Amino acid sequence: MITRERRAARDIRHQRLRRQVRGSAERPRLAVFRSLNHIYAQIVDDETGRTLVAADSRGPEFRGRAKSGGNIEAAKVVGELLAQKAKAAGVEQVVFDRGGYQYHGRVKALADAARAGGLHF
């Protein structure tokens, strides 16, 4: 019950953002989700409803590169992993969907690392 109440404001902000942000085949959407212990990012083509690339702080590629999955260092690693996978899949331009979160901290670190890895948004 408390979790639902706590998430309600973020869900409203996310729905407001999703009215504007739409991914396509040429420019898919980079969606971010963060929890207390982990951070997740995926690149989605909204026209077909397919996830093209995904990276998170729980995967085997992540282990050993950061101590924890819920901090800024982990977000940077996930952003780098996502950019590498996107390049391999042929994706260079994306639309950034911050998921209703403030563009600050872990979300900003992930976005900056993805940009440094070669994604354009």
Q: Give the domain ranges of the chain.
A: 2-116
Q: Are strands 29-34 and 39-45 parallel, antiparallel or unpaired?
A: antiparallel
What's the pTM value of the predicted model, to 2 decimals?
0.90
d(CA 107, CA 118): 17
pLDDT band at 4 (very low <50, low <70, confident <90, very high): confident
- Could you tell me what percent of the chain has a pLDDT over 70? 98
pLDDT of residue 1: 59
d(CA 29, CA 79): 14
pLDDT at residue 78 above 70? yes
- Specify the CATH number of the domain 2-116: 3.30.420.100
pLDDT of residue 34: 96
H or E segment to which residue 80 belongs: helix 72-89
What do you get for the CA distance between the two ends of the chain, in Å?
A: 36
pLDDT of residue 5: 81
Q: Are strands 95-97 and 50-56 parallel, antiparallel or unpaired?
A: unpaired
The rounded mean pLDDT for the chain is 94
Which residues are paired to 43 by β-bridges? 30, 53
